Structure 1
Amino acid sequence: MKRHLLAAATAAVAALALSACGTTEPAADAKDTKTSEAVTLTDASGAEVKLDGPATKVVGTEWNVVESLLTLGVEPTGVADVKGYQLWNTSVPLEGEPKDIGTRGEPSMDTVAALAPDLIVATTDLPEAAVKQLRDIAPVLQVRSADGAGQVDQMLENVDLIAKATGTEDKAEQVREQFDAKLAEGRKALEEAGLAGEGIAFADGYVTSNQVSVRPYTATSLIGEVNTGLGLKNTWEVKGDESYGLGATDVEGLTKLPEDTHFAYIGNEGDENATPFAEGGILKDNAVWKSLPFVESGDVHRLDDGIWMFGGPGSMEAYVDAVVEALTKK
C-alpha cells in the first residue's frame, strides 16, 4: 500500500502522507546539546544502539526520518530517493547535497557503505533483511513510522529519539512547543471563523488506466489526528489500516460522505496521475463526482503541494496552515 508511502501513491491507492508558531525551516544549530560522551539507545525494534558520541554523519532511509533530521538541524549525508523527497516534501526542504542512496524500500548497501556514516536512521517498515545488512555498515536506529493508536505522539517520539542520537535534544523540545502552538493557533482560527466541529474528509487519489482510486485518511491517520486536534470532525466511515489509518474506496464511495463535508486533498504538479480531483482533471466529466454536494457547493479544497502527508512536525505545521487558510477563505 505504498506509492505515496514508498514512491508517491499506490496504483491501487487502496493498497498501501508549521512555522515558529509556524516555522518549517530546519534548526539553525544542530549542535545545541552535543557532547563527546557515548550514547546508548533502544530503538523501535527493541535493539540497543550504541554510539561513540552524538552522530553527525547520518544517513536516512525514509523521508519522515530525513525530515526529522532536517528539522533538528542535522544535514543528512545520504538520503533515499532524493528527487522524490524534493518533489513531495518542500515544507522541510533538503539542505546541502546529500548522496542519493537508492529507493526507500531498497537502499544501495554499497552507496551507504561508501559514505561511512556514524548512524543510519531507518523505519520499522524497512525489510528486516535490509536492516541486517545496514547494521553491518554502521549502527542503525529504527523508528516506527506510524501508529494508529497515537500518530502525533509517535511522530514526536521519533523526533525525540533521533534528537538523542544526534545530540539535539534542546531543539527537539523547541519543535514540540512549536507544533503545539501551531495546532492551538489553527484551532483558535477555526473557532473564530465559526468552523469548530465542521466535517472534513481528507483523501488522496491516483489514476491507473483511466480509473480513479481514492485513499481516505481516516480519524486514526496522522492527518486525521491533526484534524481532530484542530477541532474538526472526520467524516470518513471507511476503516483505516492499523498502522497508518488509511482506507480504500472509489468515486462511488464518496457518495457516502455527509452533504456538509469539506473535502480536502493534496496533489502534485510533478505527478499528473496523483491529482485526479483537480479542476479540469480526469473527473471533470464524471457524473458521480459532479453530483457530490461538496463539489456542487465548492467545498473541494486543494491544499499546497509539497506537504508530506506522512512527515513530521514541519509537514504537519504546514498542513495546519494550509487547511485553515482553505476553510476560512470563504
Structure 2
Amino acid sequence: MIRTRVTAALAAAAALLLSACGTTENAAAPATSAPSSGPVTVTDSRGKAVTLKGPATKVVGLEWGEVEMLVSLGVMPVGVADPKGYGTWVTAAKLDPGVKDVGTRGEPSVDAIVALQPDLVVMEDDRGANLVTQIEKYVPVLVTKGSDAADNLGRMRADLTMIATAVGRTAEAEKLLADFDAALADGRKKIADAGAAGRPFAIADGWKEGSTVSIRMFGQGSLVSQIGIQLGLTNAWTGKTDEVWGLGQTDVEGLTGLKDANLHFFYNASDGDDVFADGLAGNAIWTSLPFVRQGNLHRMPDGIWTFGGPLSGKQYIDQFVKTYAV
C-alpha cells in the first residue's frame, strides 16, 4: 500500500498528533563539504559527519524518495529495497533492469546490501537506529530526514542537496531545484490567471479490509499538500495529522466536512486497488459528497510518488495545473 500501511497504523496508534503546517521553501541545507574528487564529508540528519574516500558511485537506496533523488541526479543505485514496487509507484525516475533487490523497505537484507560492496547506503531516519548500526559495520550510511510536516519542501531540498554532495552531483541538484521552482512559479501564475487562486483541494489514499474502507488524508504539512499550497491553492482537510508526514486517518463519514462546491479531491491508486471507485461505489454518504456529485474526483495517473523528490513534485504540479488552470 502507499508509503506502507505500517506508517498509517503508526499514525493511528500515535493518536494522530496535530502537525505543524509551515511551508517555508528555503530551509538551510546541512553542513557539507564536497570537493569534486578526494574525500567527501556530509553531515546527515542525525548530525553525524559521514566521510567517504570520494564521491560515492556504488549506492544502495532503502527508501523510494531517496532512490528517486539518486536516479534524478544521474546515479543509478546498484541496489534498491523492493525495486518492483518502486516501478509501480514511481515513474519520475526509472530504474535500470539490472538494479538488485535488497529486500523490503521495512526489512531490507543486510547481507544482500553488503554483498553488493557499495560505497554508501542511503536511508531514512524512520527505519530505526538498529538497522543503521548493523549496516554501518560494513559500509557508510547517510540518513536523510525523509519527511518533516513543519516544512516538507525545505526538507526535500535539504535531503536532495545532502545526497548530491555525497555523490558529487551538486550542480545536478541545483538544476533539479531550479527547474522545480520554475514549474511552481509557472503553475502558480497559470492558476492565478485562471481565477482559481485560493481554491480548495484534498488529497487522500485508502485501502479496504473486509467491508471497512480506511482513508488516509494528506494534511497541511504533507509534501504534496505543500506543493498545492505553494501553487496558491488551499488544503481543505483540517483534521488531525502526525507531525512527521502530515498524514491523518478517517473514514467516509469524516469526509462530510468537505462541503465547498469548488473542491477537487485527488487520490492515488497505483497498485490498481481503487477503493474510492470500487469500495465506495454503493455508499450513500460517498455518493452524496459535493465533489463526487460534481465530478471533481480525480484519480492521479499511476506512478506519481507522493513522497518523492523534485521530479515527482513536478508531476503533482502538472496535475494541479491541469485541474485548476482551465
Taking the TM superposition and a 5 Å limit, the aligned residue runs for 1:93-112 are: 93-112=94-113
Structure 2 contact 219–247 (Cα < 8 Å) conserved: yes
Quote the residue 1:283 is aligned against.
280
Structure 1 contact 57–76 (Cα < 8 Å) conserved: yes
Tell me the number of residue pairs that the alignment of Structure 1 and Structure 2 aligns: 306
Quote the residue 1:123 is aligned against.
124
Structure 1 contact 86–94 (Cα < 8 Å) conserved: yes
The whole-number CA distance in structure 1 between the counterparts of 2:69 and 2:116 is 20
2:288 matches 1:300: no
Quote the residue 1:5 is aligned against.
3
The whole-number CA distance in structure 1 between the counterparts of 2:39 and 2:7 is 40
What is the TM-score of this pair, normalised by structure 1? 0.88
The whole-number CA distance in structure 1 between the counterparts of 2:256 and 2:86 is 33
Aligned-pair distance for 1:139?
A: 0.5
Taking the TM superposition and a 5 Å limit, the aligned residue runs for 1:303-322 are: 303-322=300-319
The whole-number CA distance in structure 2 between the counterparts of 1:119 and 1:8 is 26
Quote the residue 2:238 is aligned against.
237
The whole-number CA distance in structure 1 between the counterparts of 2:211 and 2:145 is 35
Quote the residue 1:58 is aligned against.
59
The whole-number CA distance in structure 2 between the counterparts of 1:199 and 1:296 is 16
Aligned-pair distance for 1:12?
A: 9.2
The whole-number CA distance in structure 2 between the counterparts of 1:52 and 1:13 is 39
Structure 2 contact 8–216 (Cα < 8 Å) conserved: no
SS of the counterpart of 2:266? Answer: strand
Aligned-pair distance for 1:91?
A: 2.0
Worse overlay, 34-43 or 6-15: 6-15
Structure 1 contact 38–54 (Cα < 8 Å) conserved: yes
Cα distance change on mapping 1:87 and 1:11 into 2, 3 Å: farther
The percentage of counterpart residues that share the same residue type is 45
Aligned-pair distance for 1:68?
A: 0.6
Quote the residue 2:209 is aligned against.
208
Quote the residue 1:264 is aligned against.
266
Quote the residue 2:173 is aligned against.
172
SS of the counterpart of 1:315? Answer: helix
What is the TM-score of this pair, normalised by structure 2? 0.89
Structure 1 contact 41–48 (Cα < 8 Å) conserved: yes
Aligned-pair distance for 1:96?
A: 4.5
Matching residue's letter, 1:73 = G
Structure 2 contact 2–205 (Cα < 8 Å) conserved: no
Unaligned 5+ residue runs, structure 2?
17-33
Aligned-pair distance for 1:35?
A: 2.9
Structure 2 contact 79–99 (Cα < 8 Å) conserved: yes
Structure 1 contact 303–326 (Cα < 8 Å) conserved: no
Unaligned 5+ residue runs, structure 1?
17-32
Cα distance change on mapping 1:115 and 1:11 into 2, 3 Å: same
Deviations 1:59-90 (A, max 9, x none): 00110110110110000000000111001111
Structure 1 contact 14–215 (Cα < 8 Å) conserved: no
